[in-house]
Amino acid sequence: MYDLLKLLVSLGERSYTIQIGTGLLPALGEMCNELALGSTAAIVTNSTVGSFYAETVKESLVKAGFATHLIEIPDGESHKNSVTLTSIYDALLDAGLGRDSFLVALGGGVVGDVTGFAASTFLRGIPFVQVPTTLLAQVDSSVGGKTGINHPLGKNLIGTFYQPSLVLIDTATLNTLPERDYCSGLAEVIKYGVVCDRDFFAFIADHSELLRARNMDCLTEVIRISCSLKASVVERDEKEGGYRAVLNYGHTFAHAIERLTNYATFLHGEAVAIGMVQAARLSELKGYADQHDTKAIVDLIQSLGLPVDLVSFSVDEYYQALLKDKKMRSRGINFVFNKGIGDSVIENVSDWDFLLQVVHGEV
């Protein structure tokens, strides 16, 4: 049997639990039965994850009495687009799925985001379940209800807020995660420490060697704390009307980097790591943090195997990419600064010379 940790994301009628444990995948069917999601399930995954876990998930659902279909989409951020979304719709319609159906997102952040968006719009909305298999998805993207796809002009510009019915995190899936993808997920973990919880930042730093070694006890605790912090932010501001935007720390430059490299050079967490370094340097210039805070952030990012150097593009290229950011407002861009370590502030910045000085290499 499995040890199980349960966290509640409290959102009234949209509330759901996050189930965390090792060896949970075979229990998915019974958990879905308890939620009365419908009679038919469609698993959306990619060939990489599917080769490891699709059969276990399908078997669990069939055993629980669900008619089950498998939909495979291409792997990678470059496929998080309208073409892939339409292919999911086509498969659902071909299989004859109706409003008594639900989707299961089995994979990383791309699978979760596009599956959630498909669920939120197919027949005007059917339930879906998140079964994240990457560290980044387990600690961040599977929780909170952000769904969507990329547009050629920018990242995550098309999407919805649509909460899952369940998040099932089987930490055993991290055993098959490539090292680069694993380290990518650690970037989002660091983010929570920087903007939400100084003690958590210290815990990550103190246990960095265990995290690099994928010590399961340490990892489970890190996932639990990360999900708890994310849940508390979402409960306070479900649709990012204000406070939830603190979780965009590092993402302004990250999304610009991803767009400028056509989503093909960096994993999302790698881009976030670079973006956090730029945000830390700008926070120091603003007087929100000092050089010791910046050094601690940079050192931790590097110790966990993540990049820190800004990609070489021109100031104008960065400027044009930032203009397409979904955090843009008429007066400027909503930018998240760290206040020391463990706190943050969101400020609308219209001084582009200030933001872009990190591109010049002036700081």
Catalytic residues: 124, 146, 188, 230, 240, 244, 248, 251, 255, 268
Q: Which runs of E-coded beta strand occur in 47-153? A: 67-73, 101-107, 128-132, 146-151
Q: What is the Cα gyration radius of the chain?
A: 20
CA distances from 33 to 64, 91, 154, 276 (A): 7, 23, 38, 41
* Residues whose CB is less than 8 angstroms from the CB of residue 206 and which lie 6 or more positions away in sequence, other chains included: none
Question: What DSSP string runs through 51-74?
Answer: HHHHHHHHHHHHHTT-EEEEEEE-
Token pair recorded at residue 34: 């308890």
Question: How far is it, in rounded angstroms, from Cα 77 to Cα 254?
Answer: 13
- Closest by CA to 358, choosing from 323, 320, 308, is 308
DSSP state of 304: T
